[in-house]
Amino acid sequence: MIFTVNEEHFVGNIYQRFPVNVAKGKGCNLWDTDGKEYVDCMGGYGVALVGHCNDRVVNAIKKQAEQLITCHMSLHNNSRLEFLNKLFTIVPQNLNRVFFSNSGTESVEAAIKFSRKYTNKKGIIALNGAYHGKTFGALSVTYNEKYRKSFMPLLDGVTFISYSDIDKLDDIVNNQNNDIGTIIVEPIQGETGIIVPPDGFLKKLRTICDKYNLVLIFDEIQSGLGRTGKMWAGQHWGVEPDIMCLAKGIAGGVPMGLTLTRSEILDCIKVGEHSSTFAGNPLACAAGSATIDSLVGDNLVENSKKMGILFKEGLLGLKDTHKIIRDVRGFGMMLGIEMKFDIKDILFDGIKNGILLLYSGKNILRLLPPLVMDEDISKKSINLIDRVITSEEKRRNV
């Protein structure tokens, strides 16, 4: 088929777009329409968790597609029941209710709505990342600092504070005007540049929530499901939330959002107070079951940890040889390389050299490759990153 216009003609200019026309994917690789191969460290912004076209997921989707594609939550369905049974073997034990939706944003919005109803308090504290004294954006796309002003009405009642302001939490909670009932945080912040909280930070949040009866929400949309080498990023510090938000890779690439809660939180929502037409879709549920089978049966969480150590060692090696790298951080398959300069040219050079890299802000390379990473692809990625950073140094004459 010959196309006479490109996608921009129809979709508007609201995404940072790259000149790659993706035709197919398998595992950690993508191929464009000319057959050129790429290592995918962009990983569909974290969605390609169990690898592109994971065999288990493909087979489950094929099988389910022939039986039933849609089934509203007002009816029962065995694909959904099977998924629920698998899901509740991997989530923290105190979370025993779930609300289905179709994206991360919906999952966070539901979490906030449920928590506000449960606590009968509107006020929310949202933690921003603060790294090397700089304040980064936000906890999710919905809360991106850059767009906060234009979407402020949506965020009515949300107080944003940075990691470094943790000592002010007591005061903010105690100020009656704030009417605080909820604290929400990404245990490791993705969108804002792979920001790992200081040790003791999440424990402190938990303690404050317990002290004042606040609901603690973990947005594990990017950091969860083995991404950081543990099933949940909160486990790195032994902290469990009252509500947990999931989306991205939970259904192997098929849209699904989940808001998991302690039973008493979701149980305070009455029939008709919240819903979603696509929720608990059988196709997404079949893909979700296959994703959990792959995470558990193919030891992907363990692999993420192992490959993450190897990958990070390689990146730290690059930091020793390239002065323009300021920092390397993260766990598992959630890694960040903070550069001293704008990374735009590196991203485009990566495409030329066959590696897709993700950005966070202007100067941070973010890597969210699939958890099926192996040693060969890890080494290849390091070599390609070395090559594009060397070219950047030449361009900048440093």
The binding site for ligand PLP (CB under 6 A) comprises 45, 103-105, 108, 140-141, 186, 190-191, 219, 221-222, 247
What is each CA distance from 48 to 178, 284, 315, 340, 373, in whole angstroms?
A: 39, 14, 22, 29, 11
In the bound state with ligand PLP, the residue whose beta carbon lies nearer, of 104 and 234, is 104
Q: d(Cα 91, Cα 68) in Å, to the nearest integer? A: 27
In the bound state with ligand PLP, the residue whose beta carbon lies nearer, of 178 and 235, is 235
Q: d(Cα 58, Cα 47) in Å, to the nearest integer? A: 15
The least distance separating ligand PLP from the CB of residue 2, rounded to whole angstroms, comes to: 32
The least distance separating ligand PLP from the CB of residue 192, rounded to whole angstroms, comes to: 9
In the bound state with ligand PLP, the residue whose beta carbon lies nearer, of 38 and 218, is 218
The least distance separating ligand PLP from the CB of residue 185, rounded to whole angstroms, comes to: 10
In the bound state with ligand PLP, the residue whose beta carbon lies nearer, of 248 and 262, is 248
In the bound state with ligand PLP, the residue whose beta carbon lies nearer, of 129 and 190, is 190
The least distance separating ligand PLP from the CB of residue 350, rounded to whole angstroms, comes to: 20
The least distance separating ligand PLP from the CB of residue 186, rounded to whole angstroms, comes to: 5
Cβ-closest position to ligand PLP: 104
In the bound state with ligand PLP, the residue whose beta carbon lies nearer, of 334 and 388, is 334
According to DSSP, the residues that pair with 30 across neighbouring strands are 25, 38
Q: d(Cα 219, Cα 77) in Å, to the nearest integer? A: 28
SS3 110: helix
Q: d(Cα 287, Cα 62) in Å, to the nearest integer? A: 10
In the bound state with ligand PLP, the residue whose beta carbon lies nearer, of 186 and 240, is 186
Q: d(Cα 177, Cα 23) in Å, to the nearest integer? A: 53
The least distance separating ligand PLP from the CB of residue 189, rounded to whole angstroms, comes to: 7
In the bound state with ligand PLP, the residue whose beta carbon lies nearer, of 140 and 363, is 140
The least distance separating ligand PLP from the CB of residue 140, rounded to whole angstroms, comes to: 3
Contacts of 24 (CB under 8 A, 6+ apart): 30, 31, 52, 53
The least distance separating ligand PLP from the CB of residue 139, rounded to whole angstroms, comes to: 7
User: How many other β-carbons are positioned within 10 Å of the β-carbon of residue 96?
Assistant: 14
Is there a contact between 82 and 251 (Cβ–Cβ < 8 Å)? no
In the bound state with ligand PLP, the residue whose beta carbon lies nearer, of 14 and 271, is 14
Structure tokens at 118: 């449960």
Cα R_g (the chain), whole angstroms: 21
The least distance separating ligand PLP from the CB of residue 46, rounded to whole angstroms, comes to: 7
Q: How far is CA 79 from the centre of its chain?
A: 25
Burial of 259 (0-12, 13-18, 19+ CB in 10 A): buried
Count CA atoms within 13 Å of residue 10 on its CB side.
5
The least distance separating ligand PLP from the CB of residue 323, rounded to whole angstroms, comes to: 30
DSSP for 8-31 reads: HHHH-S-S---S--EEEEEBTEEE
Is there a contact between 203 and 371 (Cβ–Cβ < 8 Å)? no
In the bound state with ligand PLP, the residue whose beta carbon lies nearer, of 105 and 299, is 105
DSSP for 252-269 reads: BTB--EEEEE-HHHHTTS
Is there a contact between 203 and 55 (Cβ–Cβ < 8 Å)? no
